[in-house]
Chain A
């Protein structure tokens, strides 16, 4: 998938934004493998460019929440006490709110654009990682080897880089793979309702929104971008599930 996002633009046969009114809603054929949309743009090319857009936005969201969420979570775990309690209560509340509605609120406040949608999702997604990294850190800090490290006077920074992060890696990577599909669905959803990527942009959700008025005349305009979202999200779910079975010892089945 990442490969597709990287090379997609180079193998695309047409300009994703080139409008050609003589070739509107052409059925899938050898020239236009997946047909053209209501403005005569090649659907395959748009999907290929869209891969980059969709996946880059998703990665941006995940990378940012991973970074800030973990800082907050680890900080909270090390500080402990009332501050820890307070921060985690906020994260609890925040985590539960329907992410789509929260993102919609942020997007409305920031104005409609793909950047706003990304920012909005960052605002709604950070608690997952704050909670998770805090949980892992607390768990590791309670282990005996950390107690002996304390006795040796190991610095906090060193504890984070040498004890917490290596141990947190497995769990975080599982969460990341599982979240990629959720974030991607959210971004395309926001773009679909018009607060994310704006219509000429070849983002998959926006493409579906654009193709909606032609569903009866050109099923391919809506079907293929949606299929791409579905396949990509599903792949990450499957990878996440495989990783979880592989890395998470609590889920090992008895046999």
Chain B
């Protein structure tokens, strides 16, 4: 119980740091926001007026508190380029991105765990060496480049997948209650829409996941290798357990724990990396929204994205840690 409370306290602390960073980003780093807001032709009086209206004449900590309470209440300000409340924008853009990241994460897990486990089992074999080299090389892949190449080759040239978008034109009127179309389409029993969504998501998710998968395979392999060296594996063999039983019942579960922490972090990083793929594949989402906001110099919209991605990150890490704690309290605390 103490661990759970500590972990939650740490997450709250992380949230505080997050708000502080975004406060710096939006209020301190860009110089005087009043001058920016007033426009180039404003006189000194107007700037002063705006400064008072924006609360910039207040002391630093008061400004921070005002900002913090607004953020916590879900008020991120209004976007300069969509003219909508930023919080609404983000709530609309977040579901497609989360769907994409979940699929990318699935690809990552489906590859990382078996490949890492088998490479570790046959440590030193040519398969293992091949995996190691590919994983090291793969960690140097520029995501946006892979995305363009995949789009050009697999989608445009070979026509195996749609080139861009979230849904085919035929389904343009599809709407869902949650915004998570994968979920919505299933809820409405629209299997055709569901498959269409997957077809559109596959290439971007693949492009997004390759770099992370390379890292995932490396981490899983390393932790599994160290597990295979422990005496409980000898013990399991001595008990007469088959290699398959040893791999899946014994080693996998122990070796997966450190990898899970990394995968928890990767979830947030992938969400951040959507800025590199969503634009290319013309998908709606928080990444494309952030890129647009940056090019439009809409600092508050960018900061909103930073906040939300950071929040997802804090939550996913806490969730992983608490899950690990629930599985095995002692081991989680040691790690």
**Residues of chain A at the chain B interface (Cβ within 8 Å):** 89-90, 92-94, 96-102, 104-112, 181, 185, 188-189, 192-195, 205, 208, 212, 215-216, 219, 222-223, 225-226, 229-238, 241, 253-254
Check B17 against A93 for contact (C-beta < 8 Å): yes
Chief secondary structure at chain A's binding surface: helix
Check B145 against A222 for contact (C-beta < 8 Å): yes
**Residues of chain B at the chain A interface (Cβ within 8 Å):** 10, 13-14, 17-18, 21-22, 25-26, 29-30, 123-124, 136-137, 139-145, 148-149, 151-152, 156, 211, 229, 265, 268-269, 271-273, 275-276, 279-280, 290-291, 293-295, 297-299, 302-303, 305-306, 309-310, 313, 317
Check B268 against A108 for contact (C-beta < 8 Å): no
Closest 3 CB pairs of A and B: A98-B272, A233-B140, A226-B145
- Given A93-B13, A216-B156, A101 and B310 contact (CB-CB distance below 8 Å): yes
CB distance from B157 to the nearest CB of A (A): 9
Check A193 against B313 for contact (C-beta < 8 Å): no
Q: Which residue of B lies closest to A250 (CB)?
A: B226
Check B272 against A93 for contact (C-beta < 8 Å): no
Check B294 against A112 for contact (C-beta < 8 Å): yes
CB distance from B19 to the nearest CB of A (A): 11
Check B142 against A193 for contact (C-beta < 8 Å): no
**Which residues of A have CB within 8 Å of B294?**
104, 107-108, 112, 193-195
Check A104 against B306 for contact (C-beta < 8 Å): yes
**Which residues of B have CB within 8 Å of A238?**
136-137
**Which residues of B have CB within 8 Å of A101?**
271-272, 275, 290, 305-306, 309-310
Q: List 14 A-B contacts (CB under 8 A).
A: A89-B10, A98-B272, A99-B269, A99-B272, A100-B272, A100-B273, A101-B271, A101-B275, A107-B294, A111-B297, A181-B140, A208-B145, A231-B140, A237-B140
Q: Considering the chains assembled together, what is the distance between the CA atoms of A236 and B136 in angstroms?
A: 10
Interface centre among A90, A93, A102, A230 (most CB of B within 10 A): A93
**Which residues of B have CB within 8 Å of A234?**
136-137, 139-140
**Which residues of A have CB within 8 Å of B17?**
90, 93-94
Of the candidates A92, A97, A105, A229, the one whose C-beta lies within 8 Å of that of B145 is A229
**Which residues of A have CB within 8 Å of B18?**
93, 97
Check B29 against A104 for contact (C-beta < 8 Å): no
**Which residues of A have CB within 8 Å of B124?**
253
Q: A108-B298, A229-B140 are in contact. List 16 more A-B contacts (CB 8 A).
A: A89-B13, A90-B17, A97-B18, A98-B269, A98-B272, A104-B275, A105-B22, A112-B295, A194-B291, A194-B295, A195-B294, A195-B295, A208-B144, A215-B152, A233-B142, A234-B136
**Which residues of A have CB within 8 Å of B303?**
105, 108
**Which residues of B have CB within 8 Å of A98?**
268-269, 271-273, 309-310, 313
- Given A189-B276, A193-B275, A226-B149, A104 and B140 contact (CB-CB distance below 8 Å): no
Interface centre among A104, A108, A111, A205 (most CB of B within 10 A): A108
Of the candidates A93, A104, A110, A235, the one whose C-beta lies within 8 Å of that of B30 is A110
Q: Considering the chains assembled together, what is the distance between the CA atoms of A237 and B134 in angstroms?
A: 11
**Which residues of B have CB within 8 Å of A208?**
142, 144-145, 148
CB distance from A216 to the nearest CB of B (A): 7
Q: Considering the chains assembled together, what is the distance between the CA atoms of A194 and B290 in angstroms?
A: 12
